[in-house]
Structure 1
Amino acid sequence: MNAAPAAASSSADAPAPPPARAEPSRILLLLDQRENRSLLAAELGDRHQVLPATDDDALDGEFDLLVLDGRSLDRLWERVQRRKARDEPGFLPVLLVTSRPGVKMITRHVWRSVDELIVAPIEKAELRARIEVLLRARSFSLQLGGQVEAARALAQRLHQQAEELRGTAERLAERTAAAEEANQAKSQFLAMMSHELRTPLNAIGGYADLIEMGVRGPVTDTQRDDLARIKAGQRHLLGLINEVLNYAKLETGTVHYDLADVSARDALSSAEALVAPQAHARGLELEVAAPDTDLWVRADEEKLRQVLANLLSNAIKFTPAGRVRLSCEASGADACFRVSDTGIGLSPDKLEAIFEPFVQIRSDLTRTEEGTGLGLAISRAIAEAMQGSLTAESVLGEGSTFTLQLPLSSRS
């Protein structure tokens, strides 16, 4: 190659410098003409790593730009195309340096092999500019290829994680189904056993009544005391079994709710009547504070009375002395029924546990305060089924407040 002297040009016409590289770009020179190979190596060696080669196998090495002349291209064009394909999707640029002005009319395989062409004589500035453009394209393609590989690796990891999550979800669904099946079996067993136990208990109560009435003969005072104890025990056991049966019905979803407009005043009054004897028997003050204006709530009247009576019974049971208060007031779109007491209270860590089935409010009282520990669990389930909620607040040693929140009806 006979390189012409560089044409006069201002610095403004010079190409912008390429992005900073950690290592210089590698330029492979496969030029049959030794003089041209030496001239290009000297011209480009100050900024790039130039690899002059006389062996065609250098095409199998690693480089960022290939510079060929016409003779080497004629000989190597098939290998050049295979080498470019090996780098795909990365771009491996090839520059043809030729002294044949009519080279653009060469067969089409040249343009599948060559990305840029310079016809000698060459200006140094043009040569440098062409090479920098090709190296920039190479650098950008490598960066893009790295991002594509990173994206592909990320997609593969996400796919693996999705498969793992799918497997976990399937196992969880199987376990959930098994747990639900076991829960249904447990509830059905409880319901069946409750029915089976209630029959003989009712018979015991019936026979005790017959004996007490003297149907089987005269009854002494001592026998009457014994019969009273038998009947009290029978009623207590029957009450416990009824709680278990009610809870089983709630779990199996067989409880029917007849929602209607219910007067809050009437609900307070009927709940008071149910528990007043208990409060008086324990020497407690039972206070009922009706709302200033009558409120109407959407609820099942019987089940609302059941929940309020249960909350009041619990308050009476765990209040050794003092007062139990029942009130109701509007709060936004809801009515809040509150049962507060001056009893033993609860520590904050037990406020949610008491709504779990078979949990007693105070474990140290299980021998003196009878019950299944189902009352609050049943009451919360009923409240939620009526689109409401049941919550508790308490201070240990000072008392507790249970709040039943139900939606107001359009009549309020």
Structure 2
Amino acid sequence: MAREKIVIVGGGIAGLEIASALGRKYKRGGQAAPTITVLDRDSAHVWKPMLHTIAAGTRDIAQQQTTFLAQARDCGFSYEPGELNGLNRTQKQISLAALKAADGRLLIPERVVAYDRLILAVGSQANDFGTPGVKEHCYMIDSRVQADAFNREVRLRMFQCMGLDQQLSIAIVGGGATGVELAAELIQLTEVAESYGAHGLASRIHITLIQSGPRLLDAFPESISEAVRDKLQKLGVTVLTNTRVQSADADGLTIQDGSHIAASMLVWAAGVKAAEVMSQLDGLECTRNNQLVINPYLQTTLDPAIYAVGDCASLILPNSARPLPPTAQVAHQQATYLIKHLPDVLEGKAVPPFSYRNLGALVSLGEYDAYASLGQFGLFKDGFIRGKLAQASHAMLYRSHQSNLHGFWRGSLLWLVDQINKQVRPSIRLD
């Protein structure tokens, strides 16, 4: 009897947690156990809520990434480099785009991969809404590679500021968690750099945060939005709300009233959508943001052999008017559901539908502050916690993710290594 082929496209939070847990479960399962394969165009995983710290350089990418090949060896699944390019549901095959090097060399040609069960976990990206100039002139930090590219440029511009007494202005479009947290981390970067001897650097770097709506963090309680705006402004960030960007160019941004915001570097962190390819997958039902519509068992509505989880999936639960938000919390809970119930599905057993627990939301302003809404545990409307307790909660989410990937003991060792590195290595990336 042929072994069931489970193919997971995307090595983000949900995809890698599922692969790691099921890989360990079936590692010694014999010839009847299914095979697990992860496909991702990148070679390593970084916890997505940490990407803004990689981009700012307040965390070192080399210390925080999980290499797919090493994880596959340790957990008993297979990894193949590849980017989803199409789907044939009749033949149960996905097509993968050709992979090329930065200089244009063909590394891996187009190819097809067969599956019995397909789990799509390709994540999401910022939505430029077709705004002219964004693709050409704005950085995005939706992936490990993008975050690292932005950080390299920031460090080069900082050296120019130090050596040539130049100004550096960075405009961030998007007042959600990514934009807010990146702004705070960039302030922290300049302050720490000054403590290492880059005197006057903080006075030469200016951060502007631009939000099209009336307040920052519109998915959070208004009390948190107001507290975060006040804190950012005290840190020196210029916060502009009710400001819609009409276009981007090499010198900055043009907004709705025709005025121009000058900036040396532009970051686009507004909006959320799944990759364009998700709307072209052999007729699967899709939203206008390219998310696949799924049922309460996390299966796509037109094909029970295909699952979608995390940011690339749209699920409206019973008694709810809106889909679940594209957050790490949702991705983790959906991964946990499949880890627990997919083995039963493979054995033909009935399983319960997915249920979601809103545990609140967290936003961290680096070392300065953190805020957490209380979710279902809130005892009063718009309740939240802040400060050290919220910062500890934010840190524990990451440690929990590491534990899910590596197991409790190895995850604990990784935490210990991080604590040691804080004592013996610079607290910002300087190389």
Bin for the TM-score computed over the shorter chain: under 0.3
Name whichever structure is richer in helix by fraction: 1
Structure ranking higher in strand proportion? 2
**Which one has a bigger Cα radius of gyration?**
1
With normalisation by structure 2, the TM-score equals 0.19
**Higher RCO (CA 8 Å, separation ≥ 6 residues):** 2
